[in-house]
Amino acid sequence: MLRTIKEKILTIVVDNSFVKNSLIFTLFATINNGLNFLLIFLLSGYLSKQAFGELNLFSTILLVFTTIIPLGTQGYISVIYYKKNKKYINRIMNTIISLSLIVFLLFSFLFYLLPSSITNYMSIPLEYVYCAIAICFFQVIYLMLLEVFRLEEKPVKYGLLTMTFVGLNIGLTWYLCVQRNYGWEGRALAQFISSIICFGISIYYLRQLGFYIGFNVNRNHLKRITRFGLPLIPHSSTVWLRMGLDRYIINFFQGSSILGSFSFIFNFSGLILMVGTAFNASNSVFIFKNLTSGSPNISVKLKKQVLIMTIAFAVITVISMVVIYGIIKLFMPKYIDAIPYIFPLCAAAFFQCIYYLFVNYIFYYKKTKELMYITFSISIIHVILSICITRYTVVGLAYLNLLSNFIICSCVIYYSNKLYPILRKQNINE
């Protein structure tokens, strides 16, 4: 009996490319994120709370400019990949790269004109602000190659490329932070060097796949991709508004030491998001391919998938909370004051994972403007409440994160279900 069940499970995994790819993506994501979290764990013990807080401010700048440098246009590739030929996609890629270079140069010039203002606002030295936006530009092509591997359903190549980037990051970080005693700045320099190396590797492999990288702006393509991408800047900025700006607010009202404790739990709650993003890497491809081809009974499959993954994410969230609590109690007593943040930040990550199950329908139907309205409006309210709450309690801010993620998740579920009603029995004609 047990052998029969094992054989059935093995058959499902081997014969079902979606399940197999999901498992491979999750495996590589687990390894990569596990290594990253191990590094963060080690750095949190090596760096002071203040330095750890400053490192998170640098990470926040990366978070913001990752979307701003390409003006949110990179997601357009996944939407058209199954509808257009390689030559057309290549032209779109080169338009995105050219646009990213222009934006990068404009911001560099702006920072050159206003150095003191930028330093005061960002709370880190200006040279590391330049470092951050340079990393974001170099990663445009790296992320482009990852997107091609993902859409071509080549999870092994995708995973090996990410492991290369993570391996370089970890090796250089350990050398610069610990061996050379550069502090948090060593982590920033490690990310900068790693991004340059992966930039070169990505150009080489894209050429091997038949995509020739150059700088060329096509007006018609520019209109299409910016119409899709520009609403995603406010949308993507909501991640910074709800998570990144919160760190600056904590730093302003409570200081970098409290920020270090909050960031410690926030980084560990990323274990939950790791699973959600890994699953989404294959799930979004599955959704786009089936909606494009008009596969029969896809609505039933997607409905079952939502139910199963919701249960899985809930179980992972509970396990993560227990593990984080145990790590603090047994190994990291200096972060004992961070325990009250565990439940709200982990629960917020859970709702972010559920959000991933539904947001792809909004991207597929190119309703990015409507998505922006949902996320940006809620995030603005979040910021206002954050300023009011954080001066009194950081625990209250953690619960505000939970509430904001829950409301955004609920709104996205409602709107995506109007576009493609997988939560209702009847489907609409596309």
In a domain, 177, yes or no: yes
Both 159 and 37 in a single domain? yes
* Residue that terminates a domain, selected from 172, 199, 228: 228
Both 32 and 83 in a single domain? yes
- What integer pLDDT is reported at residue 173 of this predicted model? 85
In a domain, 386, yes or no: yes
Q: How many angstroms separate the CA atoms of 162 and 25, rounded?
A: 11
What's the chain look like in SS3?
CHHHHHHHHHHHHHHCHHHHHHHHHHHHHHHHHHHHHHHHHHHHHHCCHHHHHHHHHHHHHHHHHHHHCCCCCCCHHHHHCCCCCHHHHHHHHHHHHHHHHHHHHHHHHHHHHCHHHHHHHHCCCHHHHHHHHHHHHHHHHHHHHHHHHHHCCCHHHHHHHHHHHHHHHHHHHHHHHHHCCCCHHHHHHHHHHHHHHHHHHHHHHHHHCCCCCCCCCCHHHHHHHHHHHCCHHHHHHHHHHHHHHHHHHHHHHCCHHHHHHHHHHHHHHHHHHHHHHHHHHHHHHHHHHHHHHCCCCHHHHHHHHHHHHHHHHHHHHHHHHHHHHHHHHHCCHHHHHHHHHHHHHHHHHHHHHHHHHHHHHHHHCCCHHHHHHHHHHHHHHHHHHHHHHHCCCHHHHHHHHHHHHHHHHHHHHHHHHHHCCCCCCCCCCC
Both 239 and 91 in a single domain? no
Per-residue pLDDT of the chain (430 residues; tens, 9 = 90+): 445 544 444 444 444 566 666 677 667 666 666 666 667 667 766 777 677 777 777 877 887 788 888 888 887 888 787 777 888 888 888 888 898 999 999 988 888 887 666 666 666 777 888 888 899 999 898 888 888 888 887 878 888 888 888 888 888 888 887 778 777 888 889 889 999 998 999 999 888 888 888 777 777 888 888 888 877 777 766 766 676 677 778 877 777 777 777 877 887 787 788 788 878 877 877 787 777 766 667 777 778 888 888 998 999 999 989 988 888 888 777 778 888 889 999 999 999 999 998 988 888 887 888 888 898 899 889 889 988 898 888 888 889 989 999 999 999 999 988 888 776 654 444 3
- Buried b vs exposed e over 46-57: b needs ≥16 C-beta within 10 Å? ebebebbbbbbb
- What integer pLDDT is reported at residue 105 of this predicted model? 92
- What integer pLDDT is reported at residue 331 of this predicted model? 79
What tokens were used for 68?
A: 């701003």
- Buried b vs exposed e over 86-121: b needs ≥16 C-beta within 10 Å? eeebbbbbbbbbbbbbebbeebeeebeeeeeebbee
HSE (CB half, 13 Å, CA atoms) of 194?
A: 23
In a domain, 430, yes or no: no
In a domain, 1, yes or no: no
Q: How many angstroms separate the CA atoms of 76 and 393, rounded?
A: 40
- What integer pLDDT is reported at residue 178 of this predicted model? 76
Q: How many angstroms separate the CA atoms of 68 and 203, rounded?
A: 21
Q: What is the CA radius of gyration of the chain?
A: 22
Q: Give φ, ψ of 272 to 5 degrees.
A: -70, -45
Q: How many angstroms separate the CA atoms of 197 and 204, rounded?
A: 11
- What integer pLDDT is reported at residue 9 of this predicted model? 42
Residue pair 398/262 in contact by the 8 Å Cβ criterion:
yes
In a domain, 173, yes or no: yes
Q: Which positions ≥6 away from 83 have C-beta within 8 Å?
A: 292
- What integer pLDDT is reported at residue 6 of this predicted model? 45
In a domain, 427, yes or no: no
Q: How many angstroms separate the CA atoms of 183 and 204, rounded?
A: 33
- What integer pLDDT is reported at residue 121 of this predicted model? 67
End-to-end CA distance of the chain: 44
Both 244 and 387 in a single domain? yes
Global confidence as pTM: 0.67
In a domain, 382, yes or no: yes
Look at the chain and report how many structural domains it folds into.
Answer: 2
- What integer pLDDT is reported at residue 157 of this predicted model? 85
What tokens were used for 86?
A: 């390689």
* Residue that terminates a domain, selected from 202, 228, 254: 228
Residue 258 lies in domain: 231-418
Give the residue among 364, 208, 196 at the shortest CA–CA distance from 284.
Answer: 364
In a domain, 207, yes or no: yes
Both 191 and 148 in a single domain? yes
